[in-house]
Structure 1
Amino acid sequence: MKKNILAVFLFSSCSFLYAQNPNTLDKAKIYAATISADNLKKDLTYIASDELEGRDTGSEGQKKAADYIAKRFADLGLQPVASDGKGGKGYFQHFNLYKKGWKDAYIKIGNKKKEFFKDYYPNGLTSIPQEESVQVVFAGYGVEAANYSDYKNIDVKNKAVVILEGEPKDAAGKSYVTKDGEKSEWDDKAGFTRKTSLAAGKGARMLFVVSASDETGFKSLAAERRVVLSRFNRMSISQATTPEQPTTNPVFYISKAMAAEMLDIKPKKFDKLVNKMVISGVSSAGSVKESKVSVKAERGEVPVETMNVMGFLEGTDKKDEVVLITAHYDHVGIQGGQIHNGADDDGSGTCAVLELARAFSQAKKDGFGPRRSILFMTVTGEEKGLLGSQYYADKDPVIPLANTVCDLNIDMIGRIDKEHAPREDYVYIIGSDKLSSELHQISEEANNNSVKFQLDYTYNDPKDPNRFYYRSDHYNFAKHKIPVAFYFTGVHADYHRPGDDVEKILFPKYRQITELVFHTAWGVANRDERLKVDSNKP
């Protein structure tokens, strides 16, 4: 009830935003009305197209998106303000991110190098920084029990030990390890841990587990493992100061064909070794002459070239004070062989920034430009940890943070969530009151003077478990005590999935939220006094 009373008061007075401004509410409405769903759709159809392959940070698709955005800024007459590295100015703020990963990884058999995550894959974030030449010994299933042992007649100290998955069984599937033929403790995941501990305890340098899958199945497993492990290879805006420590007892998975190569025998002979154990119940460990391979899995930080894209609209009498309007233009790329186009996340915010830039540029051409300057910026690396905005705010603020009045950040405004469906006329506002009560008031009044949406503050609650306030690019400005407002319409079934496509965007709603951001930016940019930082809410 209190919110409704406040809204009525603000709407009736209209003084907070416009009474002392040379640019009137009527002018704001004129240029807000130029915001076009057709323009938004045209831009988004390209930004979220398959051609850009999901705009993963550092990818060619992300760079194509950056080129498109920069051209749009240039066509609108926005000023380039980022250093081009040659003493001039450009639209790109170039920088490197640093991704942890494998810089150089291979297994060399003779003169042939086997391909990482294709011919073999690691069990974890394995680190072998220098090439190691090791003897290879076959140890059957890697089992040591009362009724069965693969380690009786072999020495594995400082060697690469090749073992089979699972436990020794007869043709009927009964275990040779247990007296009753039931599955033993050496099978499945628990058995894997037991096997690795046993090999390490006997001094093995590394372990190679032969997958039970056929060649096609193994390649699928290797590809899946690459995706899983890549999630742990996080990016950073800074290089690490200490190298990763070598793995004490690394474990790799290999195919049957590669096992035969490592043991320097024909694939058919390897199959015979396995079949012999099935028939006889006697280990074939040590029955193959030892061979030698070279192994390296150097981990480190790989530089990833990327860029923020920005265009500057100079203000009039208060041009040294700057309003920032942001969205992230990266997405998650290709996963599991499927392109994730990210139409809503955050193609919607990116194209809203372009349309806002067009509307404000037109106002300036007509002689009604904003009093304060506006920096329109689309940032990279949000999906990797808000890295593009972090780089800008923490390392290279092109506009000094002291001159930055606020950040209006747009991230996912093209769909609806299940909490509001089928209603479309809402938007979550996050953070508008946390640092400036005035920004919050301007936001409320801008809504009442324009689209009259339901402004939902559910996610503004510091107790909200989703913690969205900390999960988009505005936070990198808020932590520097710069007032922010985050526009968001919630998650949906296609969040970070291949179904986040242009066809599902609700363009009338999307256009109206973009209009709301325009009115808020107009109010902040044209008021007499700079926003006060008078709050410090969690």
Structure 2
Amino acid sequence: MNKISLLFLALWANTLCLAQSPRQTFQETINEEDLRKHLTYIASDELGGRDTGSEGQKKAAEYITNHLSALGITPIVRDQMGKMSFQQKIELYKNGWKESYVVINGKKKVFFNDYFPVGMINIPVEKEIETVFVGYGIQSETSNDYLNKSVKGKAVILIENEPKNKAGKYLSSNSDNSDWIGSPGLKKKQKIAADLGADFVFVVSLADSDQFKTLNAERKAVLSRFNRLAIEKSKPESPSVTSAVPTFIISKNMAAEMLGISQKKLEEKIANPENKLKTKKSTIKIKSERGEDTIETANIMGFLEGTDKKDEVVIISAHYDHVGTDDKGRIHNGADDDGSGTCALLELAEAYSKAKAAGNGPRRSILFLWVTGEEKGLLGSKYYTDINPIIRLEKTVCDLNIDMIGRIDKKHESNQNYVYLIGSDKLSSELHSISENVNKETINFELDYEFNDPKDPNRFYYRSDHYNFAKNKIPVIFYFTGVHEDYHKPGDDVEKILFTKYSKITQLVFATSWELANRSERIIVDSNKP
């Protein structure tokens, strides 16, 4: 063999050794620069925190669909006009207060500012009603604040709790204990007012102005839990309440206006409870309407068809909604939650589209799925799995779900090269084994399974969109880097994302999905772990 032939053979062998696999080639197209570009927009103030159904979330949806269209990814949802779309439209329903106010002398008082309700009060039609002041609203063997007062069909105004005499004893019992304070005491007062025929109760709070603001905010937060979005319409609410009589807590300032006196006079009565308080008759108007609003939103999905095993589908998911703005008007941009998953999915779609264009498309099909309403109770993924699965669930191989992969938690401050994996062994031992092997072959991160423990009090396995697939016996992996100090706070911004770490985890998801999409046999479902 001559020297030229030997040189050619050596060069050929060297090239063969250096050649990358298709997976490595397209895995490396996922880079920090692209992730940063996408996330800088998705987590910008322009999108206003991407609350479910908001204009900001709709802008995010438009950005995602434009990216999919530019990549040549296939739309898979047929819309009402029969055209193919990237968006699976969803109508969500929200119960809440629609119009609520109290009008005193022509001045409208502000709900959850000047006053707040006790329970879920529904007064759908404005009512005009006379008010009656009944002191502390106590009626007992030794005390009767209702003496010579007619309250039937009227609104009772009373001061909360029970006053003490100069000796420091409660007035009605002349003792150190009282049945008229706190929640039990209020319930007793409500029952008395209801039994005497009162239509409403207004309780004067003893809190100062700052404390009353805090009470308003706390009560609003508590009651908002009953206003969560839902997939199904709720039953119409009746004009009823959760107490014996519709009751509101009011500020001292609002009470003074209702009583036709100065706030100073009211405070003097509170300081000297045995003194008489001369009030003026007044008539107020009140409305506190609860009703249901329809919120329009959408899951976004793009389909990349496989080759010889195209009827089997690997889903890669992330949620693109966040929590919007808070009561102070501060935007929660959600760069990590879940802007990181949203933009990782954009990069994954691009990597696969490049692979297919180069003749290296996956054997199984890939569905890139951006779900809505995760922050409202996993609603988008629930709609997909339980109501309208675009890909039949029995054809779904697995779901790889990405939610918060751009930061670190306190546990790993000394080692950024980790990722929590949740659910990988719950339904398929093969999925777990593949996941671990691919990690060793690629980024070789620490795989932390702390939150995979069924005894973990955080219950993260049930708290992101993969769970709606898992409950349908579809194997899942949830990629997560943990909770940090900016979780659901205004500080979750792009500047705090660790892009090197973030890009590597995105590459790991690509490599794992590549193996799942191209192996000869579909992974088995052979486990049922809690």
Q: In 2, distance between residues paired with 1:251 and 1:180? A: 28
- Alignment match, 1:71: 66
Q: Does 1:317 align with 2:308?
A: yes
> Secondary structure at 1:226's aligned position in 2?
helix
CA distance in 2, matches of 1:142, 1:530: 71
Aligned counterpart in structure 2 of residue 49 of structure 1, from 44, 47, 64: 44
| 1:498-537 to 2 correspondences below 5 Å | 498-537=490-529
1:308 aligns with 2:299: yes
Instruction: Give the structure-1-normalised TM-score.
Output: 0.86
Worse-matched range after superposition: 195-204 or 90-99: 195-204
- State the SS of the aligned residue for 1:227: helix
User: Using the alignment, how far apart are the partners of 1:450 and 1:292 within structure 2?
Assistant: 75
Distance 1:211 1:296 in 2: 21
CA distance in 1, matches of 2:275, 2:405: 65
**1:225 to 1:318, Cα distance in 2 relative to 1, 3 A:** same
Q: Which of 259, 274, 277 does residue 281 from structure 1 map onto?
A: 274
The separation in 2 between residues aligned to 1:83 and 1:254, in whole angstroms, is 52
Alignment of 1:424-443 (within 5 A): 424-443=416-435
Structure 1 segment 447-466 matched on structure 2, within 5 A: 447-466=439-458
For the residue of structure 1 that corresponds to 2:398, the secondary structure is strand
Correspondent of 1:238 among 200, 207, 232: 232
8 A contact 2:153–2:199 mirrored in 1? yes
Other structure's SS at 2:412 match: coil
Letter in 2 for 1:303: T
Aligned residue runs from structure 1 range 105-116, under 5 A: 105-109=100-104, 114-116=109-111
2:171 to 174, 177, 188: 177
For each residue in 1:95-120, what CA deviation from the matched residue of structure 2 results, as whole angstroms up to 9, or x when unmatched? 11112212343335577654432343
Deviation at 1:25, TM superposition (A): 7.2
Moved more, 406-415 or 62-71: 62-71
Contact kept in structure 2, 1:129 and 1:246, CA below 8 Å:
no
Shift in CA distance, 169/434, structure 1 to aligned 2, threshold 3 Å = closer
CA distance in 2, matches of 1:166, 1:360: 67
Bigger Cα displacement from structure 2, 329-338 vs 29-38? 329-338
- 1-side partners of 2:235 and 2:362: how far apart? 45
* Residue 203 (structure 2) aligns with: 209
**Letter of the 1:91 counterpart:** F
Match of 1:152 in 2: 147
Cα 1:240–1:173 shift into 2, 3 Å: farther
Q: Does the Cα contact within 8 Å between 1:415 and 1:489 map onto a contact in 2?
A: yes
Contact 2:191 2:245 in 1 (8 A): no
Task: Structure 2: state its 5+ residue gaps.
Answer: 1-18
Q: Which residues of structure 1 form unaligned runs of 5+? A: 1-23
- What CA distance in whole angstroms lies between the structure 2 residues aligned with 1:144 and 1:102? 33
Contact 2:252–2:266 (CA under 8 A) maintained in structure 1: no
**2:9 aligns to what?**
none
1:53-86 residue CA offsets vs partner (Å, 9 max, x unmatched): 2222122222222222222222222122223322
**CA shift in 2, pair 1:29/1:387, >3 Å:** same
Contact 1:70 1:91 in 2 (8 A): yes
1:71, 1:529 → 2: CA distance? 34
| % identical equivalent positions | 58
Report the equivalent of 1:6. Answer: none
Tell me how large the CA RMSD over aligned residues is.
2.9
User: Residue in 1 aligned with 2:53?
Assistant: 58
Aligned to 1:13: none
Matches within 5 A, 1:333-348: 333-337=324-328, 338-348=330-340
Residue number among 476, 488, 499 corresponding to 1:496 in the alignment: 488
Residue of structure 1 aligned with 2:413, choices 421, 440, 449? 421
Q: Distance in 1 between matches of 2:37 and 2:203?
A: 52
Work out whether 1:101 is the aligned partner of 2:96: yes
Deviates more, 1:389-398 or 1:188-197: 188-197
Conserved in 2, the CA contact under 8 Å of 1:53 and 1:341?
yes
Supply the distance in 2 between the matched residues of 1:493 and 1:524 (Cα, whole angstroms): 35
Contact persistence 1:66–1:309 (CA under 8 A): yes
Compared CA separation, residues 140 and 334, structure 1 to 2 (3 A): same
Is the CA contact (8 Å cut-off) linking 2:122 and 2:237 kept in structure 1?
A: no
Partner of 1:368: 360
Equivalent position of 1:9 in the other structure: none
Please report how far the alpha carbon of residue 217 of structure 1 lies from its aligned counterpart in structure 2 after TM superposition.
6.3
Q: Secondary structure at the match of 1:232?
A: helix
Pick from 265, 277, 289 the counterpart of residue 272 of structure 1: 265
Matching of residue 163 in structure 1 with residue 155 in structure 2: no
- Whole-Å separation in 1 of the counterparts to 2:235 and 2:273: 55
- Specify the alignment match of 2:7 in structure 1: none
Candidates 466, 475, 484, aligned match of 1:474: 466
TM-score by length of 2: 0.87
Find the aligned partners of 1:396 and 1:357 in 2 and give their Cα distance.
Answer: 23
Equivalent position of 2:6 in the other structure = none
2:130 equivalent in structure 1 = 135
Contact preservation (8 Å) 1:58, 1:305: yes
- Aligned counterparts of 2:414 and 2:395: Cα–Cα separation in 1: 41
Distance 1:356 1:212, change over 3 A: same
8 Å contact 2:170–2:177 — kept in the other structure?
no
**1:273-320 deviations in whole A, cap 9, x for unaligned?**
553675682343xx4454433433233332222111111222222222
Map of 2:289 onto structure 1: 298
Specify the alignment match of 2:11 in structure 1. Answer: none
Counterpart for residue 11 of structure 1: none
Helix, strand or coil for the counterpart of 1:54? coil
Per-residue deviation, residues 225-247 of structure 1 (Å, max 9, x unmatched): 32332123222111124635711
Counterpart of 1:15 in structure 2 is none
For 2:270 and 2:524, locate their aligned partners in 1 and report how far apart those are by CA, in whole Å.
79
Q: Aligned partners of 1:417, 1:476: CA distance in 2, in Å?
A: 26
The code of the aligned residue for 1:151 comes to Y
User: In 2, Cα distance between the equivalents of 1:42 and 1:52?
Assistant: 15
Name which of 309, 315, 331 aligns with 2:322. 331
Aligned counterparts of 1:253 and 1:426: Cα–Cα separation in 2: 50
The superposition leaves residues 350-375 of structure 1 with CA deviations (integer Å, 9 ceiling, x where unpaired) of: 11111111111111111211122211
1:225 maps to 219
Counting matched residue pairs gives 509
Q: 1:123 offset after TM fit, Å?
A: 2.3
- Structure 2: which amino acid aligns with 1:158? G
AA at the equivalent of 2:224: S
The C-alpha deviation readout for 1:404-425, integer Å capped at 9, x for no partner, is 2211101111122222321112
The code of the aligned residue for 1:320 comes to D
